[in-house]
Chains A and B, each alone.
Chain A
């Protein structure tokens, strides 16, 4: 498979996964809703295309794209969203905590900015053992105002840990526009710690892949962290809940302008139409199977609700009378 095909397939897979997941939210099969990644697919796809299987990533609460792009099974991911025992996290994590350690996904993380220090520690510990790997911490534009993330920049730079901090600047932290939240510049945050920072068009998966590959090559050679700001746009709501409460915070013309640069179309335009149609059909078949797998999966046994709470095997006292 050539790179343009693979990139397009990942972008398309994430797009259709999200659209199918939103359908499942509306039909009541996914409880609690999701934070759709629609419009931002090029970032996860481009970044992960430049990684090796042994590299690790930490995602965000808008994390489906990161998990899928790193190679998790869409069927088990969909089953997780549906709260099934067959899900990636056995129905214990759901959308915001989807994790697949087998493919290097240390977990989506629902606390903004929390992944930076975690992935830094994980990469440091494995490199101490002699393993050659890098890490990626995905974060949103809201995270650059979180103190813990800035502390993580300092540790990664000070201790020369090869972590790529990828800021997906989609213009909004929930409803707060970047201009109302970020003093100074986003890349300036990283540069203050001596971390090389660059900006890329997040709507172009190939540009993201190339920028990531360059950053990762420098990290593998020099050891320290890098920062990449991917300018992107969230096509849909912050959360599926948003439609129910009818939040209105983005001018329609801005949304239309944002949607006009669609990573699916940009990546798809680099394929012959028949090849693109083949990929679309295969993605559709994979997602049909994923939805069927998810809905057929058993619900977890309530008797095991606190299973895995303690890795040591400790069991919690019951709460009932």
Chain B
């Protein structure tokens, strides 16, 4: 079976949707030459009207996409650095997200914001290493963080077809993941539905994005001591609460590993929702970046503030001991 890379899966999703629907078009910085490699080959195939390089003007082209969507188009905006989302938070949250309600249902804003390489790309330092998905979940913008090539394809396709704005975070830590996937079998993956990546009985580990792979590795390492279930939510907003609650109700223990800052992060929301609904056997734990983290440059410092396998292993052992 061919090996499909996560990056190629994103590329294929864009190509398939551009081919399927004339209203889909791409815009972003340096996408003609495919600086992130995600748009490789698309200019040649679809032309500059559908694959539009933009000047460095994130706020205007993000709202340009909103306007195009109001007129019936389905823009996909690529941001090559996650921190650019801070620049356009206003345009996404205050306009794209609010227009349908504020107009009393007169419009839809089907824009996809694609962020390949979100999170730390070791050595890119403070302003290129954020992973701001929790902000979008907080304001209620549909937020997806695929972990695998098949999900990268399927969730991006669903995002483009969704009538609401959707932010697709493709973690830097997942971009080089490859999997044995029959390309012909690739399917849209529904938004808002998580998946159990590894069944287990003792503890549910909720892992976001690339951390799914770390969670699976840790679960394997601990297999002779603990039976770990790994739950990949895939979509952070809307979150698959039913799927998660079913898992935690069985295991009775919860650990969340999430590559965003601790305060008001998605990990806190996962824990709060679970403890509102399930009586756990042990206090839950979360493994995150520190409060207010800014990623330092030096590789050892960069790694020091990211949630790692050792932290996760320790958290799992704690919840087993505590309960």
Complex-state Cα separation, A121 to B148, whole angstroms: 33
B292 at the interface (CB under 8 A from A): no
Given A114-B95, A151-B57; A311-B63 close (CB under 8 Å):
no
B13 within 8 A of A: no
Interface residues in B62-79 (C-beta closer than 8 Å to A): 62-73, 75
Docked-complex contact A89 and B106, CB < 8 angstroms = yes
B110 & A118 in contact (Cβ 8 Å cutoff): no
Residues of chain A within 8 A (CB-CB) of B104 are 87-93, 99, 308
Q: How far is the CB of B103 from chain A (nearest CB, A)?
A: 4
Q: Are B60 and A316 in contact (CB under 8 A)?
A: no
Q: Is B49 an interface residue (CB 8 A)?
A: yes
In angstroms, Cα B36 to Cα A29, docked, is: 54
CB neighbours of B66 from chain A (8 A): 117-118, 121
CB neighbours of A101 from chain B (8 A): 70, 103, 106-107
Band of interface residues on A: 35 or more
Contacts known (A89-B103, A106-B70, A126-B71); A312 close to B163, Cβ less than 8 A: yes
A141 vs B88: C-alpha distance when bound (angstroms)? 23
Check if B61 is an interface residue, CB within 8 A of chain A.
yes
The reply to whether the CB of B17 lies closer than 8 angstroms to some CB of chain A is no
Which interface residue of B61, B65, B72 has the most chain A CB atoms within 10 A?
B61
Number of interface residues, chain B, beta carbon within 8 A:
43
Stretch at the interface among A35-43, A152-160, A165-173: A152-160
The distance from the CB of B175 to the nearest CB of chain A, in whole angstroms, is: 27
Contacts of B55 in A (CB 8 A): 151, 154-155, 158
**A306 close to chain B: CB less than 8 A:** yes
Report if A307 contacts B (CB, 8 A).
yes
Contact call B67/A314, Cβ cutoff below 8 A: no
The answer to whether B68 and A125 touch across the interface, beta carbons within 8 angstroms, is: yes
- C-alpha gap A106/B104 in the complex (Å): 12
Chain A window 140-163, contacts with chain B (Cβ cutoff 8 Å), 1 for yes, 0 for no:
000000011001101100100000
Whether the pair A97, B102 counts as a contact (CB closer than 8 A) is yes
**A306 contact set on B, CB distance < 8 A:** 101
Chain A residues within 8 Å of B155, by CB: none
Distance of A302 from chain B, by nearest CB (Å): 14
Q: A90-B105, A107-B103 are in contact. Are A316 and B67 (CB under 8 A)?
A: no
B162 within 8 A of A: yes
Q: Which A residues are CB-close (under 8 A) to B100?
A: 308-311
Q: Say if the beta carbon of A111 comes within 8 Å of chain B.
A: yes
- Enumerate chain B residues within 8 angstroms of A100, measured Cβ to Cβ: 106
A93-B104, A99-B102 as given contacts; A117 in contact with B140, CB under 8 Å: no
How many angstroms between the C-alpha atoms of A116 and B60 in the bound complex?
A: 8
In contact, B102 and A154 (Cβ under 8 angstroms): no
Partner-A contacts on B (CB < 8 A): 49, 54-55, 57, 59-73, 75, 90-91, 94-95, 99-110, 140, 142, 162-164, 192, 238
Give the B-binding residues of A (Cβ under 8 A).
Answer: 87-93, 97, 99-102, 106-107, 109, 111, 114, 116-126, 128-129, 147-148, 151-152, 154-155, 158, 306-312, 314, 316-317
**A-B contacts, 11 listed (Cβ < 8 Å):** A99-B107, A101-B106, A106-B70, A114-B94, A121-B67, A123-B71, A124-B67, A154-B57, A309-B101, A311-B163, A314-B192
